[in-house]
Amino acid sequence: MIIEKRGRQKVTHIIAIANQKGGVGKTTTAINLGAYLSKQRKKVLIVDLDPQANTTSGLGINKNTLSGSVQDVLFNPPSVAGTLLETEFDGLMLLPARPELATTEVTLVNEADREFRLKKALEQLDFDVILIDCPPALGLLTINALTAAKHLLIPVQAEYYALEGLGQLLETVQRIREALNPDLELLGLVLTMFNSRTSLASGVQDEVKRHFGDKVFKTVIPRNVRLAEAPSYGKPISEHDRWSKGAKSYKQLAKELTDRLK
Ligand code: ATP
Ligand code: MG
């Protein structure tokens, strides 16, 4: 009886997009994956958990005029529903960030249940997919994301130092599994900013595959200027230039990810 009930319960796939290395494509992946998952008619929320608030501005939202943000939610998880914003893109929703989020880690550190704040907030929501865009660090914000998520998606920039730091990230994941969230799994790694004209990029691809095998998504995100300029228009690539190589690759990634979640 109980099993049957559970079987009917709607599953929310919570995916943390994390890599403590900066500038590897976490935010670009969050925005564009979110946009294409919304186009698949899924109910999608992106959580901007980075004080840089790049996801928030990349979706065309002025971070200086917000009434509430993820920071408020971390201090008061039940307030989450009132903080969500609907974007202009196929019903894609956003839990926005403001630069003040930078001080949250320091203030939150003495609070009870500090690692579970985001989990408590997200548990109240009804979405098909929640993507969490993490900051480039392994501090309390990223720990909140990895405690709330079932899945971890790691963007890896196809360049020389790509694998550096991944060991530390996976050690953190292991510690979080043991202490905070036994359900956390590595969903996969996605190669970003791939330049097919260089042998370096394919060398990095081979090395990542050697280490992570099937966990590496078949879809590779190319280096594409249209992807880089889309945030300045406050749009995902699906709206900025849907025929670009970057758009096609994120659409493909959304498909592959949906299959993997089944
Ligand atoms: P941070 O660690 O600072 O949060 P990030 O991991 O979120 O960075 P992004 O902000 O997504 O990385 O990307 C870093 C920069 O590279 C941005 O200027 C972005 O527009 C650009 N960029 C990301 N992906 C691509 C791509 N496939 N092709 C070209 N430029 C890209
Ligand atoms: Mg980012």
Give the position, in ligand 1's atom list, of the atom nearest the Cα of 29: 11
DSSP helix/strand/coil, 114: helix
Round the CA-based radius of gyration of the chain to a whole number and report it.
18
* Atom 30 of ligand 1: nearest residue by CA position: 228
> Rounded to two decimals, what is the model's pTM?
0.96
In tens digits, the chain (262 residues) has pLDDT values of: 344 444 556 789 999 999 999 999 999 999 999 999 999 999 999 999 999 999 999 999 998 888 899 999 999 999 999 999 999 999 999 999 999 999 998 899 899 999 999 999 999 999 999 999 999 999 999 999 999 999 999 999 998 888 888 999 999 999 999 999 999 999 999 999 999 888 888 899 999 999 999 999 999 999 999 999 999 999 999 999 999 999 999 999 999 999 999 9
Q: Is the CB of 23 under 6 A from ligand 1?
A: yes
Give the position, in ligand 1's atom list, of the atom nearest the Cα of 31: 11
Contact (Cβ atoms closer than 8 angstroms) between residue 237 and residue 174:
no
In degrees rounded to 5, what are phi and psi of residue 41?
Answer: 65, 25
Q: Is the CB of 136 under 6 A from ligand 1?
A: yes
For the record, the structure tokens of 12 come out as: 């929310």
Q: Is the CB of 228 under 6 A from ligand 1?
A: yes
How many CB atoms sit inside 10 A of residue 161's CB?
A: 9
Distance of alpha carbon 117 from alpha carbon 125, whole angstroms: 14
Q: From 259, 201, 260, 257, select the one nearest 35 (Cα to Cα).
A: 257
Residue 17 CA to ligand 2 centre (angstroms): 9
